[in-house]
């Protein structure tokens, strides 16, 4: 009789890595639908182009590197979708294609593929695009051609230029419902929140990073606001604008670039929150979320040392094994 032989354990949970990426994509769906609802075919064009470019470059690069194809696990699709949702609707097609390719190539594959990238791949691609062609990623300009029934100014630019008095017109409920100019999916705060809760419930993402990120933003902007409420906006405004909500649930929680120990995750989230508000208050760019996450990504190996040391185990001596 031929019996199967293996090393232990002999059970395995039914969770697979492709299920994790599938859950992330499901959690993005509300924001995707919102983007398509608001921007119509422009959103469809950018997002599908980004997703297709990411998938295709994943396939091509894996082939070039002579590695087994991994596009079926959904990670490339997730990167493409996230990249598309960070873009404004009017961005030219070649910017999207180059960006998605850079996400996959420089962000992910150069470091050894899934799980090995020290920086969040989406943010790497976005940063290169934003620094190389800043005009195309400018939210206020790129939406100027469309009549969306919105205020055409990116709230954070107004905050940067004119202080808190300029943004007092924005109602928080409008910001929450996504009636603001911004990245196509990043502006859909409520829908991202729903997706994020789904991720938390499915335990794809643990509570530490999202909660501490939000707390970090609120605490730091609270300090600024308390110091000078005429120049600095109130904490909830900071929480509901820009890329904060997509950063909290989808960008900062990327497995490979964030810490894995409990308290290191809390420190990571707090750091992201603090840096976001500091960049918004004193930086050149209007929104600091992406740079904050990128910088905290670099601290990940250091933060992972924040853990309790393994306790030595006692050895029983009397019984022979």
Partner 1 sequence: MMTAWRIAKYVTKKNKRFIWLYSRKNLTRRWAWTISNAPFNTAMYWPIGAIKIMKGQELLLKCETKEIADAPQPAEVLLPLRDFDIKKDKKKLKEDLPVKTGQQLKPGFFSTVTGTIKGFGPLTPAVAEPIYLRIAVSDSEEIDPLLQAEPDFLEQEPQALLEKLNRANLGFCEELQPVDTVVVSAVDEEPLIMVYGQLLRENKERVFAGLRLLKHLTSAQKVVLAVPQPLYSFVSGAAADGIEVHSVVPRYPNGLPEILIRDMAAAYNVDSHLFLNVEKLLAAAAALTDGKPFSHKVVTVIDKQGAGNYRVRIGTPLAELLKDRRIKDNDKVIIGGPFRGSTCFDLSMPVTAATDCIYIQDENEVAFFHNNQCLNCGRCVRACPVDLDVNLLGRYAEFAIFDQCLEMDLKNCIECGLCAYVCPSGRSLVQLLRLAKSEGEKLESELEKEAVNVLEDKQEENKEEKDGERLS
Size of the site for partner 1 (CB under 8 A): 49
CB of 12 to partner 1, least distance (A): 4
Q: Which residue pairs, CB below 8 angstroms and at least 24 apart, start in 76-79? A: 76/104, 76/108, 77/21, 77/25, 77/51, 78/21, 78/24, 78/25, 78/28, 79/54, 79/103, 79/104, 79/107, 79/108, 79/121, 79/122, 79/125
Site string for partner 1, 17-56 (x = CB under 8 A): x-xx------------------------------------
Report the residue from 41, 149, 227, 309 that binds partner 1 according to the rule CB under 8 A: 309
208 closest CA partner among 266, 148, 275, 282:
266
CA dist., res. 223 & res. 280, Å (int): 13
Report the residue from 13, 41, 135, 284 that binds partner 1 according to the rule CB under 8 A: 13
CB of 19 to partner 1, least distance (A): 7
Contact yes or no for 265/216 (Cβ under 8 A): no
Smaller CB separation from partner 1, 171 or 307: 307
CB of 115 to partner 1, least distance (A): 4
Smaller CB separation from partner 1, 151 or 304: 304
CB of 78 to partner 1, least distance (A): 12
CA dist., res. 58 & res. 54, Å (int): 6
Smaller CB separation from partner 1, 165 or 301: 301
DSSP tag of 310: P
Report the residue from 40, 115, 162, 165 that binds partner 1 according to the rule CB under 8 A: 115
What is 268-302 written as a DSSP string?
HHHHHHHHHHHHHHHSSSS--HHHHHHHHHHHHHH
8 binds partner 1 (CB under 8 A): yes
CA dist., res. 320 & res. 113, Å (int): 47
Site string for partner 1, 162-201 (x = CB under 8 A): ------------------------------------x--x
CA dist., res. 173 & res. 169, Å (int): 12
Largest Cα–Cα distance of the chain, in whole Å? Answer: 82
2 binds partner 1 (CB under 8 A): yes
What is 244-261 written as a DSSP string?
HHHIIIIITT-TTTS--S
262 binds partner 1 (CB under 8 A): yes
Tokens linked to 179: 């009636």
66 binds partner 1 (CB under 8 A): no
Report the residue from 135, 227, 284, 318 that binds partner 1 according to the rule CB under 8 A: 318
Applying CB under 8 A, which part among 8-16, 92-100, 137-145, 159-167 lies near partner 1?
A: 8-16
311 binds partner 1 (CB under 8 A): yes
147 binds partner 1 (CB under 8 A): no
Residues that bind partner 1 (CB under 8 A): 1-17, 19-20, 112-116, 198, 201-203, 206, 255-256, 259-262, 304, 307-314, 316-320
């Amino acid at each position: 009789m031929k019996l199967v032989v293996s090393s232990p354990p002999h059970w395995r949970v039914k969770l697979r890595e492709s299920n994790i990426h599938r859950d992330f994509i499901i959690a993005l769906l509300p924001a995707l639908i919102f983007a398509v609802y608001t921007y119509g075919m422009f959103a469809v064009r950018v997002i599908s182009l980004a997703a297709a470019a990411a998938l295709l470059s994943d396939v091509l690069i894996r082939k070039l590197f002579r590695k087994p194809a991994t596009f079926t696990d959904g990670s490339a699709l997730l990167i493409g979708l996230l990249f598309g949702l960070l873009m404004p609707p009017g961005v030219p097609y070649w910017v999207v294609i180059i960006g998605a390719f850079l996400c996959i190539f420089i962000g992910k594959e150069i470091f050894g593929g899934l799980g090995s990238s020290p920086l969040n791949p989406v943010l790497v691609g976005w940063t290169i695009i934003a620094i190389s062609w800043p005009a195309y990623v400018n939210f206020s300009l790129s939406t100027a051609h469309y009549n969306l029934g919105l205020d055409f100014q990116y709230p954070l630019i107004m905050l940067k230029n004119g202080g808190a008095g300029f943004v007092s017109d924005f109602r928080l409920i409008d910001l929450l419902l996504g009636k603001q100019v911004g990245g196509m999916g990043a502006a859909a705060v409520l829908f991202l929140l729903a997706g994020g809760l789904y991720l938390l419930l499915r335990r794809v993402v643990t509570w530490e990073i999202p909660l501490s990120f939000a707390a970090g933003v609120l605490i730091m902007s609270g300090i600024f606001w308390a110091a000078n409420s005429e120049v600095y906006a109130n904490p909830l405004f900071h929480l509901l604008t820009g890329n904060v909500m997509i950063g909290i649930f989808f960008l900062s929680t990327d497995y490979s670039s964030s810490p894995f120990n409990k308290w290191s995750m809390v420190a990571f989230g707090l750091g992201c929150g603090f840096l976001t508000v500091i960049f918004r208050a004193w930086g050149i760019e209007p929104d600091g979320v992406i740079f904050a996450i990128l910088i905290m990504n670099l601290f990940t190996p250091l933060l992972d040392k924040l853990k309790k040391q393994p306790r030595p185990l006692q050895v029983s001596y009397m019984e022979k094994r």
